[in-house]
Structure 1
Amino acid sequence: MCFAVSCKNAKEEYTTISKEESLKQIPDSIDFSFHIKPILSDRCFACHGPDKNAVEGGLSLHKAEDAYAAIGENLDRYAIVPGDVANSELINRIFNEDPNMVMPPEESNLILSAYEKELFKKWIEQGAVYKKHWAFVPPVKPVVPKVENEGWGKNEIDKFVLKKLELEGFSPSKKASKEQLIRRVFFSITGLPPSAEQVNAFLNDTTEEAYEKIVDSLLNTVAYAEYMAADWMDVARYADTHGYQDDFERTMWPWRDWVIHAFNKNMSYDEFITYQLAGDMIPNATKESILATGFNRNHKITAEGGVIPEEYRIEYVEDRTNTFGTAFLGMTMECARCHDHKYDPLSQKDHFQLFGFFNNIDEKGLMANAQEIPKPYITVSKKDADGVLDFVNMTNSPTPKVEVMVMKDMSKPRETFVLNRGVYDQPADQVFPGTPEAILPFPEGFPKNRLGLAKWLFHEDHPLTARVAVNRIWQRMFGKGLVESSYDFGNQGALPSHPELLDFLAIKFQKEEWNVKNIIKFMALSETFQQSSEISEEMQEKDPENTYLSRASRLRLSAEMIRDQALKISGLLNDEVGGPSVKPYQPEGIWEETTGGGGGSTSTYIQSSGKDLYRKSLYTFWKRTVPPPSMMTFDAASRDLCTVKRQETNTPLQALVLLNDPQLIEAARALAYKSIGVVGKEPKDQIAYIFQNATSRAPSEEEMAILTNFYQDTLRKIETGEVVTEEYLSIGEFAVVSDISQKDLAALALTAHTILNLDETISRG
């Protein structure tokens, strides 16, 4: 009922705005890409779009030659006549009040507002000029705009942002406090918080270079490389199991070690991607470059009895194809598997030509058993780890050598066909490896294999690669991309909020040899990044999503950051790099609840012990059918498919995790114990130390009063037996060896746990 009311209200809002009000809002010049195309894509393309098999009434509106063509039984009418509104049938139909004639038709539940109708009318008056979709036009370096407030800004990012703010009548926010700034940049670059000592050192450094020195130092840490790798695990759909029913264990962690290594040495983005797409094909391929191709094999693989092997082999190739489209093109390639894409100029033939690049490895669709290593694979030995693969941490490997799935093409390429409706056993026309011409035709002379595909991706005229990459880096630094739909740069995706800035960054990234650290530093040093996150009532009303970047967005920490922060500030964090995945605390019996019955190492969860309990979340064992529950509660990706943007939710379950996760309770106890060793036995000093480490700032007098009262109240509850000290202090393996009073420790630990639950503690600032 509520849904129906909402739809009704929305329709009334769309239809009651007067023509006069609409005309006041119409821009002087109508741009097809930014004004008309989004409406066509959203309201018209389902019936009048690129999919030739779904076109109604013989009218397609996605390109000029079709939109201008004669229609009707006698071919005597035209949907669009440039410059002639009266003879343009589109205008007649969208303004028509007859329910049998109006477009969109009533049964579609789609409507056009008065403003949108007037846009179409003015666009046709101005010549109905079509343009290629903005994302398919190669970026050209824009002129840096001149701004009125020349005193604000550190680099070109700020000029583009300020120009937009001035046009909208807005102003940028003041600079964030030094405490907020150091917290923000630490989390944005390393995924970890600054220590109280680092915060204080930054506060005391009054030189102009203080902040830049922090940025440089963070970019040169292994923590930066691990944090970048953690983000890449979502993109690469990394997991420690194969997925499907029995979900057997696989060994892919040496590939993860390579990713950390690549980021640590600041491998250029083009080389980083080329290694993963086609490292086995580059001239003089090494064991390292071959290992990197494990990226393509991170998809699910089945061992279920009764499946049809060829059907699942096709699914694996589809996964590699769609991962390529999402990760590097920002395009929904999977939508063209069964038919031509309904919204983007991607045909079913385009889809299977791209599919052809990934269709040539000699793999089986069905694993025989849990012990099988799906071919092709390479062997990584401890000897390799001491030599050519010295970045692979074999210290804790249960065996002296491990097999890792990689790519290796067959000597004779497998034939590829368009599959009718995308079904594995319905081949139609044969196709050969190729790329969508609407994006960039495959150049003459490029090898028609994965290495050629990588070269195509980094061709100087490619319109998407650099834009998609810098947009995801921006998303990482600012909370959302300049194109908010970082997974979709197509017609159904969001328009860039700052198109010129996006192109400037894309060109800069290309010209600076795809240097990832450089582009991150450039963003971090901008005044835009350094703004306060405070928001006025006016801006809350006018720009609630912070589209214009008039402030810093307030961001909750990721699932990994919340856990890693608690481990870091408590002193529990084990900073060992790389190696096999570990199994920290999880609810007892969780794997048994969903086991497929096939046995193997993933039938029962055997918790790690000792220092392995405190490894970074990057190294947590990832079982696809039962991902780590506390991390999933905080919106971690399931790793079933390539994910470039996590969903964002706020649920009561998140509060329950913060209050009851043994890892956080244990970290609170360790943090309390650590504070006693650092600042002594005075509770106020202990609480202030804990608060600063958790929030990166000193507490106010009011906050200190509240927390001190909480501490004293907790002590009283311990005295009366309301809190059972022994039970609370026994959670987790960390043991306190000290003559400190157990009651005092419990009260301080509960206070620390409260601080770890603060909204400010789980926010980036």
Structure 2
Amino acid sequence: MHKSAFYIIGLIAGVVVYLQSCSTSSSSRVIDQGRSDNIPETISYNFDIRPILSDKCLACHGPDANKREAGLRLDMAESAYKALKEHPSAHALVPGKPELSEVFLRITSPDTSIMMPPPASNLKLTAREIKLIEKWIQQGAAYEKHWSFVPPKKPGVPTVKLAEWPRNEIDYFILQKQEQQGVTPNEEADKERLLKRLSLDLVGLPPTLALMDGFLADKSANAYEKVVDQLLKNPAYGEKMALHWLDLARYADSHGYQDDGYRTQWPWRDWVIHAFNKNMHYNDFVSWQLAGDLMPNSTKEQLLATGFNRNHKITEEGGVIPEEYRTMYVTDRTDLFGKGLLGVTIECAHCHDHKYDPFSHKEYYQLFAFFNNVKEVGIESVIGGPDTYAKKPLMEISDEEVKSILSFVNKRDTNRLIVSVMGDLDTTRKTFILKRGVYDAPGDEVQPGTPKAILPFNPSYPKNRLGLAQWLFDKKNPLTARVYVNLLWQEFFGKGIVRTAGDFGMQGELPSHPELLDWLAVDFMEHNWDIKRLVKQMVTSATYRQSAVITPEKLAADPDNRLLARGPRYRIHAEFVKDLVLSSSGLLNPTIGGPSVKPYQPAGLWEGATSGRGLLSMYTQDHGPSLYRRGMYTLIKRTVPPPSMAIFDASNRDLCEVKRLKTNTPLQALVMMNDPTVLEASRVLAARLLQERGDVNAKIEKAFRLIVSRKPNEKEVAILSDYYNKELGKSTRASAEKSLAVGEYPIPANIDKVKLAALMRVMTTIYNLEETITKS
């Protein structure tokens, strides 16, 4: 059964990827305005009024001049206060007087000819929203700059009643809001579950038996902090931390589009892992990737870092229009900068003024200009040869450089190793506003610049990517620190303080704890953008260390855990599912870096989805140790991503992705029950346990600890032991050999195959527990 089911997984994977992309593009924002009809004593424009206008009004009365109705902008005070263009005696807003404000009169009017929003829009304000607007006008209709465009200031740490609970500053902000809502935090998680959570979060692997035993035996007050420090020093930390950055940077092993040829960007991935492990501070980490080639006395390592900008899809198809595709590459880099580093939907201004945020069509192309001077073409070479593995501009990494300045690059052979990097033209390429975003419809010429609503570009900065990096890390930039702090919070707590991690604009969600976000952002900058310090700050907080147990009362009061009165509980990422299986079974190959590998995959997937040209036209599975590399090293072909990974919501790396979907589908259970890697790991672990001394119960208890990362209780051991005995009683040598015929790892000679098959089924059952692949 397992082989046929595995083939089904492959066939369905493409549908899953399609549905993911549809879901991502159509996902809507949900603003939590509370279920109560209580109206705040003081109305905040940013937190009470702007979300209403953004949802219901700004499509017609917002920044986009082409879609603006009646010449009225409701996102700007000067426009909202002035006389209406069509009714000079009337004003949209009259501060202090709702009865004279056309906005209030129209949102409360029963007359469909003047009602706002118009009935044809299918938009309608709730009674609470109308009351908020009325009270806001009564209080003066005061506007505020959008919260995320105001540089963060470090608020004072709040006082709380339960003063013995907080462990660091984070907890005071969390507890203050809990106390305001009448909620109390959970007790600390037990040591076994806490260690599993921490190990998965810091290294992406389950804790070893030695680590578990040592932590359980350590009764010192700082036992937990010692484990945190130990895991932060583990080289696997860099691999774990790199994964979210690979999603953001849209790293893949193929060029994309129809031919989807092979590319060698993996040395850049090696650099990212290396940078996290040596705790390269965020300002340098990003600046090197944006502009390492432009830095004074630029090094080969800094040049390699700029591969970040060249991870986008690149066509190799004949018959394309080169300038069209070159423009697409520049657009991709611009959009990545906006979404991944600034957390805004700047791409919405590609064709016209942004409909909701204060980003003009012109400002988009001013930002575009920073990335428009790269010495690249839209179509280069022909698919197939080694010289097409990277596209110009490129760098070649020699064996000598790997032995010296680039020692972190895991180059295993003597073949040419080339990587696409950044390199600008000797002369400046002119940039024009593209009408409607069309590559061959140039408008006015523009110079490099940044959106003024965020931070005007400092004229003392060079007008190139190096200057853009300096602008990004200007202490007055309101977004950079907030956005990365939020991304890391999302990594450890499952949801960001701002849940729309790629949209801090007016259509994004409001932060659940705005003061905490600002405190963390400023603290991050004050400590020189130190990533490991920030990680340790989060995972040593009492907030992080809470039990994930939930009472019916807490579930009813806070189903989404926005108050963080319990620990995080959610399924781990696709790559870490594989890592957990390999690590717990003893199969994991811990080699760091190097080329991507091709593990087990259903036959025919690539062959049915390619042009038939190039290295990736046929899937040739790897063998030996390559089968047991960490999930992050699985080769990603963009047009046919790894099926098991896709089913567990991994990114196919087409575009910048700052937050993965979390879906639950029977296909995930199908993978865990039938994937050759899971079955092989079950067989290998069972064989190792059978070769050890001890009774069946002892073997089951050890397996449970290796896989689930805690000791099983008596009932769990009894159920699994009973299952083993039942399987042993009904198995024959023929049925056993059929079950064991999975995977390439050799079966030990002279082992009892009937016992092995029975114990293997027990191992598979433990792997299929929900708790196994859940961080809780």
- TM-superposed CA distance for 1:400, in Å, is 3.3
Whether the 8 Å CA contact 2:70–2:86 is kept in 1: the answer is: no
Q: 1:361-400 to 2 correspondence within 5 Å?
A: 361-370=374-383, 371=385, 372=388, 373-395=390-412, 397=413, 399-400=414-415
Q: 1:188-587 to 2 correspondence within 5 Å?
A: 188-370=201-383, 371=385, 372=388, 373-395=390-412, 397=413, 399-587=414-602
1:100 corresponds in structure 2 to 113
- TM-superposed CA distance for 1:591, in Å, is 0.7
Pairing 1:633–2:647 present: yes
Structure ranking higher on relative contact order (CA contacts 8 Å, 6+ apart): 2
1:119 corresponds in structure 2 to 132
- TM-superposed CA distance for 1:681, in Å, is 4.6
Whether the 8 Å CA contact 1:533–1:552 is kept in 2: the answer is: yes
1:364/1:22 CA distance change after superposition, 3 Å? closer
Compute the TM-score of the two structures, normalised by the length of structure 2.
0.94
The counterpart of 1:749, out of the listed 740, 752, 760, is 760
Once residues 194 and 274 of structure 2 are traced to their aligned partners in structure 1, the CA distance between those partners, rounded to angstroms, is: 28
Once residues 355 and 459 of structure 1 are traced to their aligned partners in structure 2, the CA distance between those partners, rounded to angstroms, is: 20
Whether the 8 Å CA contact 1:673–1:736 is kept in 2: the answer is: yes
Whether the 8 Å CA contact 2:252–2:653 is kept in 1: the answer is: yes
Once residues 237 and 36 of structure 2 are traced to their aligned partners in structure 1, the CA distance between those partners, rounded to angstroms, is: 51
Once residues 515 and 362 of structure 1 are traced to their aligned partners in structure 2, the CA distance between those partners, rounded to angstroms, is: 33
Once residues 510 and 242 of structure 2 are traced to their aligned partners in structure 1, the CA distance between those partners, rounded to angstroms, is: 28
Tell me the percent identity.
Answer: 53
Q: 1:76-225 to 2 correspondence within 5 Å?
A: 76-225=89-238
Secondary structure of 2:256's match? coil
Once residues 358 and 47 of structure 1 are traced to their aligned partners in structure 2, the CA distance between those partners, rounded to angstroms, is: 32
1:675 corresponds in structure 2 to 689
- TM-superposed CA distance for 1:589, in Å, is 1.6
Once residues 141 and 122 of structure 2 are traced to their aligned partners in structure 1, the CA distance between those partners, rounded to angstroms, is: 26
Pairing 1:609–2:620 present: no
Secondary structure of 1:70's match? coil
Once the two structures are superposed, what CA deviation does each residue of 1:412-438 show, in whole Å capped at 9, x if it has no partner? 110000000000000001001100000
Q: How many positions carry a matched residue from both structures? A: 739
1:54 corresponds in structure 2 to 67
Cα root mean square deviation, aligned: 1.3
Once residues 242 and 117 of structure 2 are traced to their aligned partners in structure 1, the CA distance between those partners, rounded to angstroms, is: 46
Whether the 8 Å CA contact 1:22–1:115 is kept in 2: the answer is: no
Whether the 8 Å CA contact 1:392–1:578 is kept in 2: the answer is: yes
1:654 corresponds in structure 2 to 668
1:740 corresponds in structure 2 to 751
Whether the 8 Å CA contact 1:531–1:551 is kept in 2: the answer is: yes
Secondary structure of 1:495's match? coil
Runs of 4+ in 1 over 3 A off after TM superposition: 21-24
The counterpart of 2:735, out of the listed 724, 733, 758, is 724
Once the two structures are superposed, what CA deviation does each residue of 1:676-723 show, in whole Å capped at 9, x if it has no partner? 345x2511111111111111111111111111111111112314x8x8
Once residues 593 and 553 of structure 2 are traced to their aligned partners in structure 1, the CA distance between those partners, rounded to angstroms, is: 48
Once the two structures are superposed, what CA deviation does each residue of 1:43-81 show, in whole Å capped at 9, x if it has no partner? 111111111111112211011111111114341110101
Once residues 281 and 37 of structure 2 are traced to their aligned partners in structure 1, the CA distance between those partners, rounded to angstroms, is: 49
- TM-superposed CA distance for 1:738, in Å, is 3.9
Compute the TM-score of the two structures, normalised by the length of structure 1.
0.95
Secondary structure of 1:161's match? helix
- TM-superposed CA distance for 1:100, in Å, is 2.0
Secondary structure of 2:685's match? helix
Code of the aligned partner of 2:508: G
Whether the 8 Å CA contact 1:329–1:465 is kept in 2: the answer is: yes
- TM-superposed CA distance for 1:195, in Å, is 1.7
1:9 corresponds in structure 2 to none
Whether the 8 Å CA contact 2:55–2:507 is kept in 1: the answer is: yes
Once the two structures are superposed, what CA deviation does each residue of 1:645-700 show, in whole Å capped at 9, x if it has no partner? 0011001111111111101100111111222345x251111111111111111111
Once residues 87 and 570 of structure 2 are traced to their aligned partners in structure 1, the CA distance between those partners, rounded to angstroms, is: 59
1:65 corresponds in structure 2 to 78
- TM-superposed CA distance for 1:445, in Å, is 0.7
- TM-superposed CA distance for 1:401, in Å, is 2.5
- TM-superposed CA distance for 1:197, in Å, is 2.7
Whether the 8 Å CA contact 1:672–1:749 is kept in 2: the answer is: yes
**Structure 1: gaps (5+ residues):** 1-20
Once residues 571 and 443 of structure 1 are traced to their aligned partners in structure 2, the CA distance between those partners, rounded to angstroms, is: 55
1:618 corresponds in structure 2 to 632
1:5 corresponds in structure 2 to none
- TM-superposed CA distance for 1:308, in Å, is 0.7
Once residues 726 and 774 of structure 2 are traced to their aligned partners in structure 1, the CA distance between those partners, rounded to angstroms, is: 27
Whether the 8 Å CA contact 1:567–1:667 is kept in 2: the answer is: yes
57-66 or 292-301, larger mean C-alpha shift: 57-66
- TM-superposed CA distance for 1:408, in Å, is 0.6
Once residues 728 and 428 of structure 1 are traced to their aligned partners in structure 2, the CA distance between those partners, rounded to angstroms, is: 67
Once residues 435 and 464 of structure 1 are traced to their aligned partners in structure 2, the CA distance between those partners, rounded to angstroms, is: 13
Once residues 730 and 291 of structure 2 are traced to their aligned partners in structure 1, the CA distance between those partners, rounded to angstroms, is: 63
Once residues 739 and 61 of structure 1 are traced to their aligned partners in structure 2, the CA distance between those partners, rounded to angstroms, is: 80
2:773 corresponds in structure 1 to 762
Once the two structures are superposed, what CA deviation does each residue of 1:177-230 show, in whole Å capped at 9, x if it has no partner? 001100000011111000223212211110011100000011111100011112
